[in-house]
Amino acid sequence: METTPARTPVGRVIGLSVGLALIVGLITLAFAWPSSDMGPHEVPIAVVGADEAAGAVQEQLDEAQPDGFDVTAAADADEARALIEDREVYAALQIAPDGVTAYTATAASPTVARLVTGIADQIAAQMGQATGQTVQVTVEDVVALPADDPNGAGLAASALPMAMGGIIIAALIGLTVRGTGRQIAAAVLAPPAVGAGVAAILLYVLESIDGDFWPVAGALALTMAASSWTILGLLKLLGRAGLAIGAIIVMLVGNPLSGMTAAPELLPAPWGAFGQFLTPGAGGTLVRSVAYFDGAGAETAVLTLAAWLAAGAVLFTIGAVAARARAVGADEREPVAASA
């Protein structure tokens, strides 16, 4: 006689629905909140001229956007370009009686480039009202994005594969590969392979990057290794709960705060700066630096990724030692139980 399966209690169904609503709500908040509250927060820019000129521009910007910009002085246009190429500032303004020049770097952030160009237009309009003459605005893109991807959509979209890549690598290795030595070998080999694949797509398929293949592939590999080793270490130490914790850190926290779609300084403060110390943010900065700026501004990102990788290796080692100790303890108890 067939028996009817027991029905799920109503309370459990309600609890499941509430739990799903909370989870989806948190995911929506994590991805939508940074974009909804986007605006400049101490964006570093330069002004060509004396310190007094930079101070005057700083005051004007503070009136329009308090704490929105951090203005520094550049002696001339060449120094302004050097500051941009060294990733010390995002852009620069040169204000002269006959015109305003905006030095931008769409490769650093198309959003900031548009923002600074808009500021140049406003300054020129104010000068024109004061003098009764038309003031020309000139824009020079010092470090430009490729012509095939002028808005940087491909590079911005790579943030998700960088975040997901580490999670997938760790999950597949931790859940399907047996043996600590084989897991280590897989975790060493997989990130370079995945990084090379993503680099090839960005360079040769999407043509979103003009840089050399190997530096970009290396930056992506280090990013994948940092994420995957961190999550693999948590998985080895805490089991599936560790996998969930690692995925939350990388995907729900790190990815929205990476600043890849705009700039870290455009995210709500202080979360944009905080995001640079997580693997997606550090990885995005590293890839952008090696792809367009010959590695300038990549030091902190490299150290951050190396620290996450090392922490993951330590967690993995602790988890492996603990698992070995449990196995030895179980082997020692079996003879005692058999003799009893």
Please answer whether residues 138 and 100 qualify as being in contact, where contact means their C-beta atoms are separated by less than 8 angstroms: yes
Residue 27 has pLDDT above 80, yes or no: no
Assess whether the previous peptide bond of 270 is cis (omega < 30° from 0). yes
pLDDT in tens, 155-207: 887 888 888 999 999 999 999 999 999 999 999 999 999 999 999 999 998 88
pLDDT digit string, tens, across residues 296-321: 999 999 999 999 999 999 999 999 99
CB atoms within 10 A of CB 178: 7
Q: How many CB atoms lie within 10 A of CB 266?
A: 24
Q: Which residue has the higher pLDDT, 294 or 29?
A: 294
% of the chain surpassing 90 pLDDT = 59
- Pick the residue with more confidence: 86 or 3? 86
Phi first, then psi, for residue 66 (nearest 5°) are: -55, 130
Looking at the predicted structure, is the pLDDT value of residue 26 above 80? Answer: no
Tally Cβ neighbours within 10 Å of residue 170: 31
- Amino acid at residue number 84: I
Q: For 220-272, how does the pLDDT look when each residue is reduced to its tens digit (9 = 90+)? A: 999 999 999 999 999 999 999 999 999 999 998 999 899 888 899 999 888 89
Cβ-in-10-Å burial (0-12, 13-18, 19+) of 56 comes to middle
Are 250 and 232 spatial neighbours (Cβ–Cβ below 8 Å)?
Answer: no
Q: Which of 53-57, 91-95, 281-285, 293-297 has the least mean pLDDT?
A: 53-57
